[in-house]
Amino acid sequence: MSKSRKHGVFAVSGDVVVLPTKQYEDVRDAITVAAALETVFKQMQIVGHRQRTIESYEYIFNQFMTVNRLQYVEDISVESIYHYLDVLEVSPRTKLIRLKSIKAVLSKFYNNSWIKDRIWAIIHIKVDKEVKEGAKESDIDKLLHLIDQTTFIGFRDAAAIKLMYKTGIRISTLGELRERHIDFDNLFLKLDGLALKNHKFLKLPIDEEVAAILKVLIKLNDGVRNHFGTGNHNVFITQNGLAMNTNKSSNCASSKQLNKYAKRYGLKNINAHAIRRAYAESLLEKGASVALISKALGHSDLAVTTQYLDLDIEEVANNLRGIF
């Protein structure tokens, strides 16, 4: 029978094993994934990440945590990432998107010294290159002709399609577009960092037709906002006078409108990305350089633009050689 170190209420049995100091410190310092995410998302907000981006990371990483029943950051392993990817019943391309989000968050864990090694760097998903074509100008013209522009929704959607095709702006930028971004005197869109994905300033020309359409739309917006008592300066608003960028489904709602029109009128390649690609392809056909098109699209890398235009690597190299 073991002897006690002390007698009475505070006696400690000799059978009790006292944790070594180092092990105790590890337990004390362990950080939960939930606490780490809260800190990371605050950091992202401070440096200017969009709320939509943060919400996307949050959704995917919480799904990753749930699948693996993770509680502490130190529990994250290569095996847990592979397990998450394995149970996902989605396409390889979607898995790649999810993996990129997981890696982005883990990189921030690493930067905060909560993870010692970049364990995720060895994980890669290969997907076949998906060649996406731009919308045909004839289909865009047909769509604009068929949309009922005597209604507010119809006119708004037609204005959005026309603006995207003439400037190549993303559908997300439509939701962020404000009246102050339009220079009607000099016929330019002056887009600041808050309106663009890459947070850089971009200046794009518009023609008089687009300017006239936007002026009519803004006037219609004033009437809608006055009727519902809403206050904003967004160029594209809902039929209830609300900004279309107030929730994470706003882009989806705009995309659904395009999908609805495509099905209704039998148009196969009408969507926001196809219209943006059509703009890029039209610039290329008119002789614009890849570098110029890249700037107009707001791409941070020429490689993205060449892939966007589906340019052959040899074609790019030969064209570059011709310059020298």
Shared domain for 158 and 272, answered yes or no, is: yes
Shared domain for 106 and 153, answered yes or no, is: no
**What's the number of domains the chain is made of?**
2
297 falls within a domain: no
Shared domain for 103 and 150, answered yes or no, is: no
Shared domain for 224 and 260, answered yes or no, is: yes
CATH classification at residue 240: 1.10.443.10
Shared domain for 101 and 153, answered yes or no, is: no
pLDDT at 14: 52
pLDDT at 230: 94
Shared domain for 100 and 27, answered yes or no, is: yes
Boundary (domain end) residue, out of 276, 298, 316: 276
Q: What are the C-alpha distances in Å from 95 to residues 59, 82, 121, 283, 311?
A: 14, 11, 16, 33, 26
Shared domain for 69 and 111, answered yes or no, is: yes
Shared domain for 157 and 94, answered yes or no, is: no
Shared domain for 190 and 114, answered yes or no, is: no
Enter the pTM of the model.
Answer: 0.64
79 falls within a domain: yes
224 falls within a domain: yes
pLDDT at 206: 95
| 3-class secondary structure, 72 | strand
Shared domain for 33 and 73, answered yes or no, is: yes
- Mean pLDDT per block of 10 residues along the chain (324 residues) reads 47 50 49 94 88 89 94 94 93 90 94 92 80 84 95 95 93 89 95 66 92 97 96 92 68 80 91 90 86 84 73 58 54
Shared domain for 107 and 173, answered yes or no, is: no
pLDDT at 160: 95
Boundary (domain end) residue, out of 73, 98, 122: 122
Structural domain harbouring 49 = 23-122
Shared domain for 83 and 55, answered yes or no, is: yes
Boundary (domain end) residue, out of 122, 154, 185: 122
pLDDT at 25: 45
Please measure the distance between the N-terminal and C-terminal CA atoms of the chain and give it in whole angstroms. 92
